[in-house]
Structure 1
Amino acid sequence: MAETRDQLVRLHDHGDVVVVQLDRPAKLNALSTAVEQQLLDAVASARVASARAVVFAGSERAFSAGADTSELPQMTPDRIAAYYRGSGSVYEAVARLPQPTVAAIAGYCLGGGFELALACDLRIAAEGATFGLPEVALGILPSSGGITRLVRAVGAATTRDLVLCGDRFDAAEAHRLGLVRDVVAPGEVDARALDLAKQLSALPPLAVAWTKAAIDAAAESSTATSLLVEQLAYAALNQAAHKKDEA
């Protein structure tokens, strides 16, 4: 079904921070292919490229209630392959951003919405936020990095519980699991996420980018490879710092 709203993702500038806001309130910010494409376009935009930190937000009712399930029957294997090459690549595009990223989570954070939040570096949740991955009950599975990132964040056993059982859980449980940094009162999540993003935006951008890359390498590599990445990154950053001092 075609979208009736032209603008489904909005950008808001706050100094060195850009807020990328999902704006599909009638559907609880469900992630249709149109929403994902606009989100992908936003992530690739000059405004985001020039930002020192990025916040991803929804509304008080929903960060995102997940994928638009009305599109699922249309997804043949060929279309699914094309989807991951197109709008479905947005989750990895978010994860690859060199700037620090913060998800401001209020209301529902389910399915693909949860996967989008997991693609961010840090997450702030409102007390009333609800998390969950209901895909298996629909006969599918989280396929936009949710399983991969959860296993690396909380381990295989907890991921089996969260994904196979599909139980919803609250912000306090998400905090206990280490999936969110802070839990704040309702109505304060956007401000807290923006404050954190502004704090992170003051860090040297090159050091942030290399550190993010080193953390990703550590999650995927042997100890020897991870240590080598750390050491090479340190050498590059140290040289850059000295050149700056000499300039």
Structure 2
Amino acid sequence: MTGPTAQDPAPEPLVKVRRQGKVAVVQLNRPGKLNALSTALEQALLDALQSPEVAGASAIVFAGSERAFSAGADTSELPEMTPQRIAAYYRGSGSLYEVVSRLPQPTVAAVSGYCLGAGFELALACDIRIADQTASFGLPEVGLGILPSSGGLTRLVRAAGPAIAREIILFGERFPAAEAHRLGLVREVAPAGDALTVALARAEFLAGQPAMAVAWTKAAIDAAAESSASASMLIEQLAYAALNRPAGGNPE
């Protein structure tokens, strides 16, 4: 067996990053596995979020391919997961979904094709989801003897309510973009092949909004979902006071 030579092409990166103005496009690039989220792909996404191109962007679009945003977790890794390894996983590459949900920039998922399991959980971690007519959603984990555990269960309950979440998770059936839109899980359905184009347009608008107002508002919305009404109102008022400082001076 010979090693790599100077003529061998460089391996394709698991994640491709490009900038379009103020928007960073973070694209999953594991087409042979329908962008299945292995620990290596999750880590590559975490690394991409730390890159200057993404960290310096005013909005972020997450995308896959036309065939699949992501068909789910890489199930070939499941037999190796002991309780100890699972705990280490959530401290490592498995933290991806929480990192995405807490980004200060607005995030948009451009969904084409399969958006299943962990792929759906990644999309749910984004602020906005744009799906095209080819998109297919689902959480099949219960049928595998597990459950959605990367924030998908929690976010689905909060987005659609417990009754809808039970139906989606317990039955594990796939449903089309039109149904996801009806349930409020995607903002709009684009023509086939146009998810990324529409997502970029929405991200460009969000990138033009005042960055600090966007970041504080995102944080306040997340806090409101977990707080009493009085606590949420206080957070609103404190955030408003922090943002509304007089130019060049301190608030009185």
Category of TM-score, reference length = shorter chain: over 0.9
State which of 152, 165, 175 in structure 1 corresponds to 2:158. Answer: 152
Alpha-carbon distance in structure 2 between the residues aligned to 1:214 and 1:109: 28
Structure number with higher helix proportion: 1
Greater CA drift, 200-209 or 43-52: 43-52
Unaligned runs of 5+ in 1: none
Alpha-carbon distance in structure 1 between the residues aligned to 2:65 and 2:218: 28
CA drift of 1:244 comes to 5.6
In the alignment, structure 1 residue 13 sits paired with structure 2 residue 19: yes
Is this contact kept in 1: 2:18–2:53, CA < 8 A? Answer: no
Q: Which has the larger radius of gyration?
A: 2
Alpha-carbon distance in structure 2 between the residues aligned to 1:47 and 1:225: 36
1:46 alignment partner AA: P
In the alignment, structure 1 residue 226 sits paired with structure 2 residue 226: no
- SS of the residue corresponding to residue 104 of structure 1 reads strand
State the match for 1:214 in structure 2: 220
Corresponding residue pairs, total: 241
CA drift of 1:43 comes to 1.4
CA drift of 1:44 comes to 2.1
TM superposition outliers: structure 1 runs of 4+ over 4 Å? none
- SS of the residue corresponding to residue 130 of structure 2 reads strand
State the match for 1:116 in structure 2: 122
In the alignment, structure 1 residue 75 sits paired with structure 2 residue 77: no
State the match for 1:204 in structure 2: 210
Q: Deviations over 1:142-200 (max 9, x none)?
A: 00000100111111111011000111100000000000001011111111000110010
- SS of the residue corresponding to residue 59 of structure 1 reads coil
Alpha-carbon distance in structure 2 between the residues aligned to 1:78 and 1:178: 37
In the alignment, structure 1 residue 97 sits paired with structure 2 residue 125: no
- SS of the residue corresponding to residue 162 of structure 1 reads helix
State which of 83, 108, 113 in structure 2 corresponds to 1:107. Answer: 113
Taking structure 1 as the reference length, the TM-score comes to 0.95
RMSD of equivalent CA atoms: 1.4
CA drift of 1:49 comes to 1.3
Is this contact kept in 1: 2:178–2:189, CA < 8 A? Answer: yes
1:243 alignment partner AA: A
State the match for 2:146 in structure 1: 140
Alpha-carbon distance in structure 2 between the residues aligned to 1:56 and 1:95: 12
- SS of the residue corresponding to residue 244 of structure 2 reads helix
- SS of the residue corresponding to residue 62 of structure 2 reads strand
CA drift of 1:5 comes to 5.0
Unaligned runs of 5+ in 2: 1-9
Alpha-carbon distance in structure 2 between the residues aligned to 1:140 and 1:5: 33
